[in-house]
Amino acid sequence: MSESHSDHNGHDHDESNNNKYEKNGNTVNDAHDHAHGGFLGQNTELYFAICSGVFWFSGLILSFIGGVPESISTVLYILAFILGGYFTLLEAIETIRNGKFEIDFLMLVAAAGAAALGK
């Protein structure tokens, strides 16, 4: 990649050996073994986070307005959940594939459990 460290805003890139592991006889550094951006450009994660917040807040507001079906708020909450957790899910899957276990995975499990319980 030709990106400099200043292009990596938004998440940590630990340069210690904690992010290094062996893969096919080569040392891989997790800190720089991933792509930035998405189909909306380099700020895709930011756009997803903003949309997640907008959907969540809209669902919250609509849940207090009388005469609005509860299903509309539920759909907005589900959209917020999907958009807010998409990149975290991708990152958690990748770290599990690399034999690691991080807090992102636990947060996803907790969020999914709370959603299943209706909390």
pTM: 0.61
Q: Are 62 and 72 in contact (CB under 8 A)?
A: yes
Per the structure, the complete domain to which residue 54 belongs is given by: 38-117
Structure token pair of residue 6: 């200043």
What pLDDT, on the 0 to 100 scale, is given for residue 2? 44
Q: Are residues 63 and 31 in the same domain?
A: no
Residues of the chain scoring pLDDT < 70: 1-37, 119
| Number of folded domains that form the chain | 2
Q: What DSSP designation does 50 have? A: H
Q: What DSSP designation does 41 have? A: B
What pLDDT, on the 0 to 100 scale, is given for residue 37? 64
Q: What DSSP designation does 31 have? A: G
* Strand pairing class (20-23; 26-29): antiparallel
Q: Calculate ∠ Cα 103-90-53, nearest 5°.
A: 80
Q: Are residues 53 and 91 in the same domain?
A: yes
What pLDDT, on the 0 to 100 scale, is given for residue 83? 92
